[in-house]
Amino acid sequence: MTAGTVGGDLDVELTAGVTAAAGFAAAGVAAGIRSDGREDLALVVNRGPEYQAAGVFTTNRVFAAPVDWSRRALRDGRLKAVVLNSGCANACTGRRGRDDAAQTAAWAGERLAATADQVAVCSTGLIGSNLPMERLRQGLDQAVAELSEDGGPAAARAILTTDTRTKQAAWRSPAGWTVGGMAKGAGMLAPGLATMLVLLTTDAVCDSTELEPALWSAAAVSFDRLDSDGCMSTNDAVLLLASGACGIVPGRDEFERGLTAVCLSLARQLIADAEGAEHDIAITVSRAASQEDAVEVARAVARSNLFKCAVAGRDPNWGRIMAAVGTTRAAFDPDDIDVSFNGVTVFRQGAPDAPREAVDLGPRQVELVINLRAGDEEATVWTNDLTHGYVSENADYSS
């Protein structure tokens, strides 16, 4: 990876997305769901020969109608298409919202020789408004007509909201199969999952019973470790479709590795384009007693508004970090913790060390390491700083 990354090289392509894998076609059209005339409706179709699928969804108990629909559609582990729209989240819309989600799937199915429950739907945008169904229907007609094996980038554009750029990634196995994907994020980025729509595709031959654990595993170390603003969305969905079009059965480990690389790339692209952010912060907790401890500590720091403001102000404020660490149940001795920013240890074994001036927080990438000296486990959570830009995007403009 190049621009906008946090962390190392993932060896993925950034210009290819959901149509990188064989067997998939996509389109992105302007259906008039958004008021600004931009592309707002994406259609991604699995042309087979297989239609295996898996998904993970928001754990928010106030979940949107499309989440409800897609969760049901995935019960048999098969999907032939996904309809995604921006400009309207179809959340908190009651029975009408549920009917609209079902109708969207039914219309797409009619046009693709599929049943409604072979079609997943994803929506993102303003909570509480209804989908303009007539425009959506006409948009579907256009999208079906424009379906193409080169349609990935257009689909990636159509799902953006306050994102400033598309997020795509693809990983090609030397064995001949490919996994690719696209994502949108920007606001309400916090786990279980971060606020996002992600659609992943592969041409490998995989049964849905194999796809599901691989997807959970990959999401757990990528999307579930984003915590941009601590706010959990009503619409998160990460879907994985497998066409089997390349005819190759991948090794389980290699498949999980490739899938994880794509998920990590998309996750980092999400953080790099989060609302108003000026810094991408990788919070690594090292020498923790357990993975759970490492993640809990990293997440507590990622949720500290005071810490996030300090980074915006280019201040390596370890005091605010220690105050956040102290709110957790993780194993540690406060007098035996180190904190370093970009390799400079500003707090060592419970006492101030290098002066704050030794740390340069000018660059966008910030690597924070908190050494708990309590074990051998390590985990990284990605977050952003809290800036005037974030307040402006979420206060000065309605949404």
C-beta of 132 vs 230, nearer to a second copy: 230
Among 220, 323, 344, 358, binds a second copy (CB under 8 A): 323
Tokens of 187: 């606001």
How far is Cα 12 from Cα 208, in angstroms, rounded to an integer? 24
Residue 121 binds to a second copy (criterion: CB under 8 A): no
Size of the site for a second copy (CB under 8 A): 60
CB 43 within 8 A of CB 166: no
Tokens of 102: 């079902």
C-beta of 27 vs 65, nearer to a second copy: 65
How far is Cα 138 from Cα 121, in angstroms, rounded to an integer? 16
C-beta of 91 vs 266, nearer to a second copy: 91
- Which of 233, 146, 152 shows the shortest CA–CA distance to 197? 233
Q: Can you state the angle between helices 305-312 and 318-325, rounded to 10 degrees? A: 160
Among 70, 222, 233, 380, binds a second copy (CB under 8 A): 233
Among 48, 247, 251, 352, binds a second copy (CB under 8 A): 352
Residue 5 binds to a second copy (criterion: CB under 8 A): no
Report helix, strand or coil for 168: strand
Residue 398 binds to a second copy (criterion: CB under 8 A): yes
Strands 41-46 and 24-29, by their bridges, are antiparallel
- Which of 2, 3, 1, 6 shows the shortest CA–CA distance to 382? 6
Identify the active-site residue in 19, 58, 195, 380.
195
Does the active-site annotation cover 195? yes
- Show the site string, 42-81: x = touches a second copy by CB under 8 A, - = not: ------------------xxxx------------------
- The one-character DSSP state at 231 is P
Binding positions for a second copy, rule: CB under 8 A? 60-63, 89, 91-94, 126-128, 187-188, 229-234, 303-306, 309-310, 312-313, 315, 317-320, 322-328, 332, 334-335, 347, 350-352, 385-388, 390-392, 394-399
Q: Which residues are catalytic?
A: 195
